[in-house]
Amino acid sequence: MSKQVQDAYIVSATRLPIGKSGRGYFKNTRPDEMLVKVMQAVLAQAPGLDPAAIEDAIVGCSFPEGEQGMNIARVASVLAGLGPTIGGVTINRYCASGITAVQMAADRIRVGEADVMFAGGVESMSMIPMGGNKPSLSPLIFEKDENIGIAYGMGLTAEKVAAQWKISREAQDAFSVESHRRAVAAMQAGHFDAEMTPFDVIERTPNLADGTVNTKTRTVKLDEGARPDTSLEGLAKLKPVFAAKGSVTAGNSSQTSDGSGGLLIVSEAALKRFNLTPLARFVSFAVRGVPPEIMGIGPIEAIPVALKAAGITAKDLDWVELNEAFAAQSLAVLNDLDSKGIELDRAKVNPNGGAIALGHPLGATGAIRAASVIHGLRRTGGKYGMVTMCVGAGQGAAGIFERL
């Protein structure tokens, strides 16, 4: 078990619907506005908690610049009305930024340094492109062959994984179809309701006739990426995107997206002081590095360490959110773990679909999926859940929660 002086409890967890980048719900919505909404929503779910008791807001973001720069964690906490005494820090571990924010906030509590923390993630891939507005790679990367993978695009790393772990195009497409099927079924059954905070999107259109601006508000309540008409036949028609003779397509890759998620994490003393009901306990976290050119297999290194720290086995996991950066890497992770005797029950892995169907707003995803795990366990009566993902430049991360 990890050394700690007290437990960290999640008392509220929520997320916004995930929008398609560039053309979806949030294409004109600032990321700080999304994060403000999440902060206000988690507070509303913890009545009795004095916002001034929050010591710090830790927020993950993969490309913290432009509209999501200027330490968006601190900016959003002020705009959300949490008060001037609350700190704010924006952190970056690419796709694992959100779950790392949760781990860092929980650890502040577990070592006795804080009693109430906000942890979350936010990303607008509509406003900030993959790689940022001005990507600049160090020339030192290209001086050694083992470092060149840092410069690879994520799609190329998926191709490398597909080749090394022998993941066929057919298997990738079948995995993707199932992701969409599960996501659509979950939406129809209302399984996302508990974890979702609706968002009012304001659309502004100039009236050229009189010089005014017309405004229209619509409330969005569901992720917009899942497609009920996804089929093997349709996916088979798509051409590879990253390698001429490759197998990775737009259809078996995660969707670029906009979104935000957040959690309130407290100590036992805070539970009693503010009469709060815990949803879950933060149990363990692990991160490990892997060769950058096969970054997608990162979870195979992090998951065993997180399980050991939690004192449980893979069979104890009732819910697993394995971020589907690409079908190729998801399948490689699952198959590789199987070969090592760490078998994850496929029915319990992304039971509501994954990033291929639901979207992947990079630095927000870890926090979003933490909310999914916590509410999924509560709905189904499961005990242990895990959030895990691969990370750009060659890492894997995994965090484990226990339902209370």
> Where is 289: in which H helix or E strand?
strand 280-289
Tell me how far apart the alpha carbons of residues 298 and 288 are, in angstroms, rounded to a whole number: 7
Extended beta strands in 68-211, E state? 87-91, 116-124, 199-207
Q: Are strands 56-60 and 384-391 parallel, antiparallel or unpaired?
A: unpaired
Count other Cβ atoms within 10 Å, centred on residue 176. 25
Per-residue b/e over 26-36, b at no fewer than 16 CB within 10 Å?
bbebbbbbbbb
Closest CA to 2 of 279, 265, 281, 374: 281
Extended beta strands in 18-166, E state? 19-20, 56-60, 87-91, 116-124
Out of 61, 180, 191, 390, pick the active-site residue.
390
Out of 180, 191, 360, 375, pick the active-site residue.
360
Out of 95, 180, 191, 375, pick the active-site residue.
95
Is 61 marked active-site?
no
3-state SS track over 11-42: EEEEECCCEECCCCCCCCCCHHHHHHHHHHHH
CA distances from 359 to 24, 109, 325 (A): 11, 31, 9
* Residues carrying an active site annotation: 95, 360, 390
